[in-house]
Amino acid sequence: MIKELRLKNWKSFADATLYIDPLTLLIGTNASGKSNALDALLFLHRLASREEVFQAINGDDDITLPPLHGGAEWVCLKPYKQFTLEVLADGVEANQDCRYVLTVQVNQADINIIDESLTLLTYESGSRLSPEEKTLFSSDDDWTNTCFLSLFISISLGKSKNLIRDRLFEADVIISIDYFLAQLKKIFIFDPIPSHIRGYAPLSEKLKTDGSNIAGVLAALEPSRKEEVEATLTNYFKSLPESDIKRVWTETVGKFNSDAMLYCEEGWGEAASHEIDARGMSDGSLRYLAIVTALLTREKGSLLVIEEVDNGLHPSRAHLLLEMLRTLGKERGVDVIVTTHNPALLDAAGGKMLPFITVAHRDGKTGVSQLIQLEDVNQLPKLMASGSLGKLSTEGRIEAALKREDAQ
């Protein structure tokens, strides 16, 4: 699992670290830097998925790969021309971590990797201090601007281009690098769009980033797995609407059974129950079902990232959403990062989630974005004594406290 992401001169950040827990809540006002931080995860995922560094930032003509927000023009903190991303992630062994560092130079339309390294950190039993460090890979002038992460996929398939040092072919080193690479590939930026979910979807193995094919993914599951997943969907969906939800399921349609539709059966007291398909479901219901589907179908070790996770959800259901994310994420071994502006969700989080809430905040003097653990806000105990997290957020008192700290 990815544990930390450090951002240096990336977009609106000068030097900030996002700590990633099993469930991480990222909060902050508009334009505070939340999306900028998450864009770094998307960029790293694209590199690990064999995209060249230029396309990973600027996208391409294919609408399936849009540019990062702002593209190359805004990928570096002004007036700098380079950025560095540093990732701390699990190593193969329980007492190991991997630290990956990537530095990219950006000059108008010219984007070059100028430094890249991966280091294995091995800790003594029971201690996370002073690890033994072993360099698994470091960049070489012979192949500047070649992304090692993308290149290593070719190496692991036996298609080396003789651009990597001989020691990388040691079995234990290759295993460690491949393990780290897999963690970046498992990052999934998910933005379910209800209008895209309402139609028929082709049978699919992988969920799309807009959730448009959830019916196709569910219908394509092996029968016993499909039954299990749909029962879990039904269980988590039951408490969301006012109606009595009896079942959620998918069926293949058409002459060749190559497409699928999402259905649910609902009832009202003594009235007869009736079936509706995705075309008749509310936006909030479809987003919620898509998020549950993502958690149920992502592989173990994935990092699921969802912005504005509670869009379309009634405030009284915020606690159901939070409990679902926490429970299913733990059961499935999937870490989750969400952003929210919803005070009801913060109230549902309560004091127990304080260590896992990060505030994105713009420094009052420099305008640079910061990532601050909520529990590290100096005035937090006094603030919490005067109201709930949701109330503090609604009244802007968390941001006001951070501004006072900036001024000191």
Instruction: With beta carbons less than 8 A apart as the criterion, state whether 245 and 231 touch.
Output: no
> Cis link prior to 79 (omega < 30° from 0)?
yes
pLDDT of 149 reads: 60
- Domain extent, residue 224, equals 194-284
For residue 292, tell me if it sits in a domain.
no
Is beta strand 82-90 parallel, antiparallel or unpaired with respect to 96-107? antiparallel
How far lies 117's CA from each of 89, 102, 236, in Å?
Answer: 14, 7, 43
Contact predicate 90/175, CB 8 Å = no
Would residue 198 count as lying in a domain? yes
Token duo for residue 268:
């009202």
For 79, the token pair is 């007036």
Q: What is the pLDDT of residue 168?
A: 47
User: Angle CA(14)–CA(16)–CA(17) in degrees, nearest 5?
Assistant: 155
Say what the pLDDT of residue 193 is.
97
Question: Are both 11 and 136 inside the same structural domain?
Answer: yes
pLDDT for residue 144: 47
Q: Is residue 295 part of a domain?
A: no
pLDDT at 408 (0 to 100): 75
Distances, alpha carbon 31 to alpha carbons 54, 235, 338, 369, 396, in Å:
25, 37, 16, 9, 15
Q: 148-156 and 171-185 are packed helices; what angle lies between their axes, rounded to 10 degrees? A: 120
CA–CA dist 10, 92 (Å, integer) = 29
Cα diameter, the chain: 75
Q: State the pLDDT at residue 290.
A: 98
- Judge whether 23 lies within some domain: yes
- The per-residue pLDDT for 241 is 86
H-helix or E-strand containing 150?
helix 148-156
**Residue 29 maps to a domain:** yes
Q: Which of 370, 375, 309, 384 is nearest to 342 (CA)?
A: 309
Asked if residue 289 belongs to a domain, the reply is no
Query: Are both 72 and 60 inside the same structural domain?
Result: yes
- The DSSP line for 128-151 is -SS-EEEEEEE--GGGTT--HHHH
Question: Could you tell me which of 302, 277, 301, 305 has the C-alpha nearest to residue 291?
Answer: 305
- Total count of residues recorded for the chain: 408
Residues of the chain with pLDDT under 50: 141-145, 153-168
Q: What is the pTM of this model?
A: 0.93
pLDDT of residue 321: 96
CATH number of the domain enclosing 161: 3.40.50
